[in-house]
Chains A and B, each alone.
Chain A
Amino acid sequence: MNDGIIFEDVSKFYGEILGVNRVNLSIPSGITGLVGPNGSGKTTLMNLMTGLVRPSRGRIQVLGIATDDSENLFRLVGYSTQFDAFPKGLTGFQFIYSYLCLTGTSQQEAERTAWQAIERVNLTDAASRKIAAYSKGMRQRIRLAQALAHNPKVLVLDEPLNGLDPLARSEMIALFRASAAAGCYVIISSHILHEVDVISDQVILLSNGYVVAEGQIQSVRNEIQEHPTQILIRCDRPRDLAAKLFQSEYMIEASIHNDGRGLLLKTRDADRFYLAMNQLALDGIQIESIAPADDDVLSVYEYLIGNEEVVR
């Protein structure tokens, strides 16, 4: 099987400390968000898929390549660590250029590609300055440039949006989307859940070294049966609508929105609820919109992991 990033029963222990345990994953192309509290194993998972740490047990394959085959693996993988670590004395350009030479690119080609990568992260003006003089956001961008420079098919980015201003964030997100749209695998870890929600095609939720959930957010949300689905309805007569809805047995809770034109409902059976709504709409209540209120990463995170360390 040559497609995707595959973890087969992977565990990693640092001595007696658990990194990740019994991870079985198949990560498809597109943007995948890794979400979890501090110490949940996000960075360990990234280090495992880039071969920087070896699993204590299990097997990992990245597009059919074993992670200990660094010669072939790092032609396909670009990794940006979360650590602010750079060799001393190098300018932004030298940093990208020297590491491109390490990948086996000829000096002429490395120079051209390095400038391309620097241009992609909008650092052309600062490329000849020493990295030591860069701001935090610029360091983050040059780190992204080194991960992108050799045009990898798999981009593994540990907290890539930390320290970036809103404009730079949106530029970087556009960059990730462009890579994903080209068919690449972009794996991003982040604490900023609303950004993960916006960016990701699928998420992997980790807690205490275990994968708690994986897949598209809506699918994950549908699997969480113990929490009733929340639905927000904007309509002209929310009280009447609530009264009618409570006649069915699958309704649990309803609250009227502050502006008096909305209704937040909790239901055990979303499918039957939507069917019932079709009937109610015919009964003269003008419904402006119906939208799920808790099928985002934040809600899923709160349901599955708890609300510790949630960044809204």
Chain B
Amino acid sequence: MAVYRRSYKPYSGTLTAPWSRFFVLFRYSRRDLFRSKLQTGFFVACFFYPIVCLVMIYLAHSASFLAKIGIPAELISIDNMFFFHFMNVQGVLAFLMTAFAGPGLISPDLANGALPLYFCRPFSRAEYVLGKSSVLGILLSEITWVPGVVLFIIQASFAGAHWAWDNLWIAGSLILASLIWIAILSMLAMALSAWVKWRIVAGALLLAVMFFGAGFGQAVNVVLRTETGYFFNLAYLMAAVWEGLFRVDLGRAISVGQAWIALLVYCFFCLWLLMRKVRAYEVIR
């Protein structure tokens, strides 16, 4: 029997707070994303429409300039419809950004079998998913609700406190609408990339879910003469929720409540898929 000196001394220094540890993944993943020039270029391009909106807000408050160039002042109206359009455009860009950046977050770890490396730390599966989704969450926030709120503040500074107070709900709607869309896109992108474990295929699958889902839903509607096909159309469901939030009525076939429930079902399905796939070891049957 060996004789042990028992000289082992564990680490006794300070530790970072457990809740903040997922930021380590965020830091590394974000740095990896911006290594791609295409990704950086697309990110910059996402600010083109907010700049156009900024110019429109400026013009809306420059009646003399509009008169000079012959555009009627009432043509540019900064209201809930204006921010609804802003949300639609930025929402599409957020989707494209997700298709580009999302699948690369989880699939390389799964494909390389690197998950045991993460999970043999004081680091849970939920923290791993949170760390990876925070990359998309912050990236998509930077192109959706953050410029939206900045535009709202600029409009409020031009229009005055009375307008700001009356329309404060628009800022809330901007934030909430963006957060729902970000949550759905993030979960969908990560669940699909965890499922197929191949970045390119996961990207293609995300596009397929959006476009083929819409096509399939339309086919169901036409063939079965029903409106349930819209539940396969994620963009339609999201637009229905946004219409409710921005108090816009474009005559959707399904109610806002139904759209909320359908989106929640999608979210839970993605979470279930993530929790099944993001494990240290996957049991192959």
Which residues of A pack against B, CB within 8 Å?
14-15, 29-30, 47, 50, 52-53, 70-79, 81, 83, 85-89, 98-99, 101-106, 109, 113, 146, 150-151, 153, 179-184, 201, 216
Return B15 CB to nearest CB of chain A, in Å. 4
Contact between A85 and B117 (Cβ–Cβ < 8 Å)? yes
Contact between B117 and A201 (Cβ–Cβ < 8 Å)? no
Contact between A79 and B4 (Cβ–Cβ < 8 Å)? no
Contact between A182 and B8 (Cβ–Cβ < 8 Å)? yes
Given contacts A47-B280, A105-B13, A106-B14, contact A70 B119 (CB under 8 A): yes
Contact between B122 and A181 (Cβ–Cβ < 8 Å)? no
Contact between B121 and A102 (Cβ–Cβ < 8 Å)? yes
> Which of the segments B16-24, B140-148, B156-164, B212-220 contacts the partner chain?
B16-24
Given contacts A85-B113, A181-B4, contact A106 B10 (CB under 8 A): no
Partner pick for A85 among B6, B116, B285, CB 8 A cutoff? B116
Given the complex, which residues of A lie within 8 Å of B16, measured CB to CB? Answer: 101, 104-106
Given contacts A71-B122, A87-B112, A109-B13, contact A182 B6 (CB under 8 A): yes
Contact between A105 and B11 (Cβ–Cβ < 8 Å)? yes
Contact between B21 and A102 (Cβ–Cβ < 8 Å)? yes
CA distance A75 to B13 in the complex (A): 12
Given the complex, which residues of A lie within 8 Å of B10, measured CB to CB? Answer: 75-76, 151, 153
Given the complex, which residues of A lie within 8 Å of B112, measured CB to CB? Answer: 85-88
Contact between B119 and A98 (Cβ–Cβ < 8 Å)? no
Interface of B is mostly: loop
Return A257 CB to nearest CB of chain B, in Å. 32
Taking residues whose C-beta sits less than 8 angstroms from the other chain, chain B's interface range is 35 or more
Q: Which of B94-125 contact A (CB under 8 A)?
A: 108-109, 112-114, 116-124
Given contacts A50-B120, A75-B10, A89-B32, contact A104 B281 (CB under 8 A): no
Given the complex, which residues of B lie within 8 Å of A98, measured CB to CB? Answer: 24, 28
Partner pick for A52 among B2, B6, B120, B124, CB 8 A cutoff? B120
Q: Which of B169-215 contact A (CB under 8 A)?
A: none
Contact between B108 and A70 (Cβ–Cβ < 8 Å)? no
Given contacts A52-B120, A79-B116, A88-B108, contact A101 B13 (CB under 8 A): no
B64 at the interface (CB under 8 A from A): no
Partner pick for A180 among B2, B13, B32, B122, CB 8 A cutoff? B2
CA distance A280 to B49 in the complex (A): 101
Given contacts A30-B4, A87-B109, A87-B114, contact A104 B119 (CB under 8 A): no
Partner pick for B119 among A52, A103, A113, CB 8 A cutoff? A52
Given contacts A15-B285, A88-B108, contact A99 B116 (CB under 8 A): no
Contact between B124 and A70 (Cβ–Cβ < 8 Å)? yes
Return A246 CB to nearest CB of chain B, in Å. 36
Contact between A71 and B114 (Cβ–Cβ < 8 Å)? no
Given the complex, which residues of A lie within 8 Å of B119, measured CB to CB? Answer: 52, 70
CA distance A122 to B7 in the complex (A): 22
The 8 closest A-B pairs by CB, nearest first: A52-B280, A183-B6, A104-B15, A85-B113, A79-B120, A182-B8, A183-B8, A101-B24
CA distance A150 to B18 in the complex (A): 16
CA distance A101 to B4 in the complex (A): 31
CA distance A153 to B16 in the complex (A): 20
Q: Which of B1-55 contact A (CB under 8 A)?
A: 1-2, 4-11, 13-18, 21, 24-25, 28, 32
Given the complex, which residues of A lie within 8 Å of B116, measured CB to CB? Answer: 52, 79, 81, 83, 85
CA distance A14 to B124 in the complex (A): 22
A-B contact pairs, 11 of them (CB 8 A): A53-B281, A70-B121, A71-B18, A79-B120, A85-B114, A86-B114, A88-B108, A89-B32, A102-B121, A104-B17, A183-B7
Given the complex, which residues of A lie within 8 Å of B75, measured CB to CB? Answer: none
Contact between A105 and B15 (Cβ–Cβ < 8 Å)? yes
Contact between A201 and B2 (Cβ–Cβ < 8 Å)? yes
